Structure 1
Amino acid sequence: MPKNNFSDNSSPVTGDSSTRRHFMGTGAALTAGVAATAAARPIRGAEPAESVSSSPNSHIRLALVGAGGRGTGAINDSLTINDNVSLAAIADLEGDKLGKICESLTKRHGDKVAVETAKMHGGIDAYKKVLDDPDVDVVLFATPPGFRPQYVLDAVDAGKHVFAEKPTCVDPAGYRVCVEANDKAIANNTSIVTGTQYRRQANYVEAIKRLHDGAIGDIISATARYCSNGIWNKTRKEGMSDTEFQIYNWMHFIWLSGDQIAEQAVHNIDAINWIMGGPPESAYGSGGRFTRPEGSEMWDSMSIDYLYPGNRTVSFKCRQIPNAQGDNSNIIYGSKGICTIYGINRGAMIHDRDGNEVWSMKGDLGAAYKQEHKDLIDSVRSGKPIVEFKETADSSLTAVLGRMAAYSGKLVTWDFAVNESTLNLFPENLDMKASLPEPAHAIPGKTKLV
């Protein structure tokens, strides 16, 4: 299912986004070669910029940054659903694997894969070479989430259209960078489409339209769950520095993944924000860890109560525990009925207060994965850019809000996270051979809220 650490511990890395910007600007930015894991949202922007979008049949040249499982899945979806596009460049920390990846893509897509050897970029500055390439129109970012805010902002500054995987940030400092990138994209008339595919899954779109049209009356409350089994964990290779290992095993380090609630469960949080019309006012939660491997900073379960405007409470739970019962669902309670929207392909249904089913629709997740890429390319060609980065940043920060509440054991408000928090998980002055602080998981009551 969905694409798919410094923790907020007692000595968190803090500071504003200038630290993150300084690191990215000095050439220490890391392009990681690992997976990160609706109708189109409202199209924003004024008059379209003069670009490849001037012709509805123009050829669009794509580039992929982050060629792990999610990245190769994303480029495969784009090449599959779109005509007259080609993969023109590819970048990854592990440059030596790119030739084989392009060979495999060529077997599936033929001459849609047109990557010259000189445009297979490896190493810490690989993404910059893609952004400097005038032959690239659209960049797909599927690196670990911690890198995403600055990478996307740099792409917007370079005049590229963007597909960005979710989540779009893992801390408040990254959120502010996302908002800046979103505003610049609107001003530049460049698109940013994100990997929140439920926004384009037909049963989600129809169910939420019905909710907004009053199918269950006033929305009173909801429960949402993303409960799955275990997650991968990679063994450190001989000779790896701390930085190299943490990026290699990125899911387990909070500065890279944001923990499960951000990296994976953000899909359900995004659906709830969509239903509720925006982010919550506050979060209060708890959780813990029982099964994570030694050295992992992740918790394996969180339960968060989100308070939304109108005094509406959403009870949210996520976990990754082997052999535990899974559940991926959103249940919305209204004054006249109940709507249930399941993840993946299970579909959606509405029942009245007596339990009678009054509507249902099957799900098709595979089509949604592809539709987000079709919407992006169509928006580029039409000159009517889709810019949805802030919406996904809002959902990503909602996940972070819940994590901050659970990690610290305190109630955390949206206003605090957006306007006051100094939490910036990105390591200062990071380089590939650097030593990093000993991994430490959060402990409520000891972990500080910053």
Structure 2
Amino acid sequence: MQERIEASDTDAPNTSDKSNRRDFLVKGSAVASGIGASALHVPAVHSAEAAAANSELVRIGIVGLGGRGSGALNDNLTINDNVQLVATADVDPAKHEGILPRLKKTYGDKIAVDAGKNFVGLDAYKRILDDPEIDLVLMTTPPGFRPKYVLEAVQAGKHVFAEKPSCVDPAGYRTCLVAHELAKQSGTAIVTGTQYRRQVNYMEAIQKIHEGAIGDIINMTARYCSTGIWYRARKEGMTDTQYQVYNWMHFIWLSGDQIAEQAVHNVDVMNWVMGGPPEQAYAGGGRFTRPDDSEMWDNMSVDFTYPGDRQVSFKCRQIRGTQSEVGNRIYGSNGTATILGSNGGAMIYDKDGNEVWSMKGNIQAAYKQEHKDLVDSIRAGEPIVELKQTADSSMTAVLGRMAAYTGQKVDWKFATEESELDLFPESLSFDNDLPEPSFAVPGQTKLT
């Protein structure tokens, strides 16, 4: 790890001749009342006349160069013309050295990162947000950082691609709601990494369900059961913060546990089908196979109650040697629908079990489509802002986790409006000591 970059370590940009760089970067915005003191400052933001902006260069900065970050970059650079990566930020300098040569070889002039634009450290993201040349920021850090970073990006007048989940606790959820409303008012886009919302077989199947193809929706089952997940052992000399960020999946303040970090895809489909978030969750689960210093559970089962007393039975699991199952089954008064994960396809059956419709899946196309929709919306001057729907789904996952960890029934209203749960450390630096890792025990872990 490398010491964080302070503002004094890099020259401040001269913005006097850059504020009118493009037609679609010049719109000022007033912020309406009710957003909150932390979100009151909004600089000039992006706007467009669609006819004039269709060919404008979109300059990209990325925060977080791990697997999902490199994936998002590949998707954006592949599907969009006249886009350019101009700056990167990560806590690990080795990430820059590893990914940029590969990208340059593949994408040529679309990679235009000057040596001084590879920022390192916990505060490196601020250098991206401070750069007036950057139009679009890809936020692909561990999830725990996401609410704060996305809000600050909107305050800086940037368009945003934000990976899922949007938040890992109620405090982060409320931050996301502020960022969503601020982006709508200021004319900046926020597209999120819920690729199933742009996977054609999912879109078609759920539209048919909403149009009555299986009658009234009665209940649903959702599964994200897999055989395991990565774990990175602590390296000699790492501080607590360095290690936990390095092995972020296994610390709840960073990942939110499997239900939030990975299974949120199924949770998002649940909310999509049901028309919004649930009213309540009741859950159980535990851990059998996790490393000693992992805070994660390895299985969780949640009964979600949706408006109209409709029930969704949800299960997620990461245990090696077990049978995988990823998909969703929706039960209606006149039939059923099955929507499988990844490329598994979607099918609708009548009440006698006869298949009446099906469509294959193409998840790779969906990954790319979210980035095309994002850039197209920026150039058209009609920025997509979809953070709230993903925050609702992320918070639904958190609701289920809160119920499982505590052994209590947890209401949506309590979790979103009253809960004081805020997992992010009060003070964070690479020199910090962090609390000893621990995992939740129902009956002992308190609902807060």
1: distance between equivalents of 2:241 and 2:113? 29
Q: Structure 1, unaligned stretches of length 5 or more?
A: 1-25, 28-44
Q: CA deviation at 1:135?
A: 1.0
Q: Report if aligned partners of 1:167, 1:266 keep a CA contact under 8 Å in 2.
A: yes
Q: Report if aligned partners of 1:99, 1:120 keep a CA contact under 8 Å in 2.
A: no
Aligned match of 2:84: 86
Q: 1:245 aligns with which of 243, 246, 255?
A: 243
SS in 2 for 1:58: coil
Aligned match of 2:121: 123
After superposition, give the CA deviation of every residue in 1:57-77 in whole Å (9 maximum; x if it has no partner). 111001111001110110010
SS in 2 for 1:415: helix
Q: 1:50 aligns with which of 39, 47, 51?
A: 47
Q: 1:206 aligns with which of 199, 204, 207?
A: 204
CA RMSD of aligned residues (A): 1.5
Stretches (4+) displaced over 4 A: 51-54
Q: Which amino acid aligns with 1:104?
A: R
Larger Rg belongs to: 2
After superposition, give the CA deviation of every residue in 1:360-390 in whole Å (9 maximum; x if it has no partner). 0000000000000000000000000100001
Q: Report if aligned partners of 2:48, 2:380 keep a CA contact under 8 Å in 1.
A: no
TM-score by length of 2: 0.89
After superposition, give the CA deviation of every residue in 1:292-338 in whole Å (9 maximum; x if it has no partner). 01110000000000000011000000000001000001000000000
After superposition, give the CA deviation of every residue in 1:178-203 in whole Å (9 maximum; x if it has no partner). 00000000000100000000000000
Aligned match of 2:96: 98
2: distance between equivalents of 1:154 and 1:323? 42
Q: Percent identity?
A: 64
Aligned match of 1:21: none
Give runs of aligned pairs for residues 227-238 of structure 1, distance below 5 A: 227-238=225-236
2: distance between equivalents of 1:125 and 1:386? 27
Give runs of aligned pairs for residues 22-421 of structure 1, distance below 5 A: 49-50=46-47, 55-421=53-419
Q: Report if aligned partners of 1:408, 1:443 keep a CA contact under 8 Å in 2.
A: yes
After superposition, give the CA deviation of every residue in 1:91-124 in whole Å (9 maximum; x if it has no partner). 1111243133111101111111111111111112
Q: Which amino acid aligns with 1:107?
A: K
Q: Report if aligned partners of 1:144, 1:257 keep a CA contact under 8 Å in 2.
A: yes
Q: 1:49 to 1:65 in 2, by over 3 A?
A: closer
2: distance between equivalents of 1:301 and 1:276? 24
1: distance between equivalents of 2:329 and 2:323? 17
Q: Which amino acid aligns with 2:112?
A: A
Q: Report if aligned partners of 2:66, 2:95 keep a CA contact under 8 Å in 1.
A: no
2: distance between equivalents of 1:336 and 1:163? 39
Q: CA deviation at 1:436?
A: 0.9
Greater RCO, CA 8 A, separation 6+:
1
Q: Report if aligned partners of 1:96, 1:122 keep a CA contact under 8 Å in 2.
A: no
2: distance between equivalents of 1:156 and 1:300? 35
Q: Report if aligned partners of 1:52, 1:58 keep a CA contact under 8 Å in 2.
A: no
Q: Report if aligned partners of 1:52, 1:60 keep a CA contact under 8 Å in 2.
A: no
1: distance between equivalents of 2:211 and 2:427? 50
